[in-house]
Copies of this chain bind each other. A is one copy, B any other.
Amino acid sequence: MPIQRPKPIVEQVNTELRQRIHDRTYPPGGRLPSESELAQELGVSRTTVRTVLAKFAAEGLILRKQGDGTYVNERIRDIDTRYGGMWDFSRLIEANGYRPSIRTIDIEQRPASIEEATALTITPQEQVISLVRLFCADERPVILATNIFPATLLRMNGDILDGSLPIHKILQQHCHEQIAYAISDIEAALIDEKLANLLTRAVGQPLLKLRERFYNRDNQPLVLGLSFYDFTLLKLRMVQAWG
C-alpha cells in the first residue's frame, strides 16, 4: 500500500481503509487497529487518520466507542454510502447487485419552458439540451431519467454527448463544469401509459419521482433532473448517522 505524496494523503488513506473494510481485512463486526497504530503504519499523523474515520462514522460504516475501539458495522459494509446515493444511478444499480446498462431514449435541443427557464435562471427563448435515458438493471428497466441543461454550457458544439456517463461526468467532460451540490425533492407518482411502456410495469402502480437541481460552486444552476424510479427492483436506501 504505497502512500504517494502528490495526491491528497487523506484521499489515499480513505481509499486504503475503505478497501480493507470491503475486502474483509477488517472483518464485519471486527475491531480496527487503534488510531495511533494506523497512523504509524501508514506514516501519517493521527489527525489525518481521524479525518477519514470521522467520515466513515458519519456514513455509519464504522462504530466508534470511546475507551474501547473502532468496529466495522456489518450492516453497512455492503451499502455504498458515498455521495447521497442518488447522483449516480449506475452505481446505485451495482450496489443493489445488478449489472447496469443505459439506453438513450431521446436527446434534443429546444427552447426552454417557463418552468425550466426559471429554475435555470435563463430566458424562455434560450436553448436547452434535453437528455432522456433509461437505466437498466440486468437489462430490466428501472429508472427513467430526464436531464435538462442550457445549451450555452456546451463548450464543444460539434461534440456528441456520451450517454453512458452519469450527469456530473457529462457536465465535467462536455462543459468543464463541476457540480458542487444538489437539492433533491422526493415524491411519489402513478405509472401512466408512457411510463408503463418504458419501464414494463402496470399502469396505476406507484413509483418514486425524483426532482433534482444541480449547482456549481458559484451557485449557478447547471442541470435539472426528473427521474422515475422503480423501487420494487431497486432499493432507495439512506443511512443516517447520529453525530
**Interface on A for B, CB 8 Å cutoff?**
29, 60, 63-65, 71, 73-76, 79, 83-84, 86-87, 168, 178-190, 206-208, 215, 217-219, 231, 235-242
The complex places the Cα of A190 from the Cα of B168 at a distance, in Å, of 33
The reply to whether A186 and B186 contact each other, CB–CB distance below 8 Å, is yes
Known: A74-B219, A83-B240, A240-B83. A235 touches B188 (CB 8 A): no
The reply to whether A239 and B183 contact each other, CB–CB distance below 8 Å, is yes
The complex places the Cα of A207 from the Cα of B218 at a distance, in Å, of 35
The reply to whether A238 and B188 contact each other, CB–CB distance below 8 Å, is no
A238 cross-chain contacts in B, Cβ below 8 A: 84, 86, 183-184, 186
A83 cross-chain contacts in B, Cβ below 8 A: 240, 242
The reply to whether A186 and B208 contact each other, CB–CB distance below 8 Å, is yes
The reply to whether B180 and A241 contact each other, CB–CB distance below 8 Å, is yes
The complex places the Cα of A201 from the Cα of B186 at a distance, in Å, of 19
The reply to whether A219 and B182 contact each other, CB–CB distance below 8 Å, is no
A84 cross-chain contacts in B, Cβ below 8 A: 238, 240
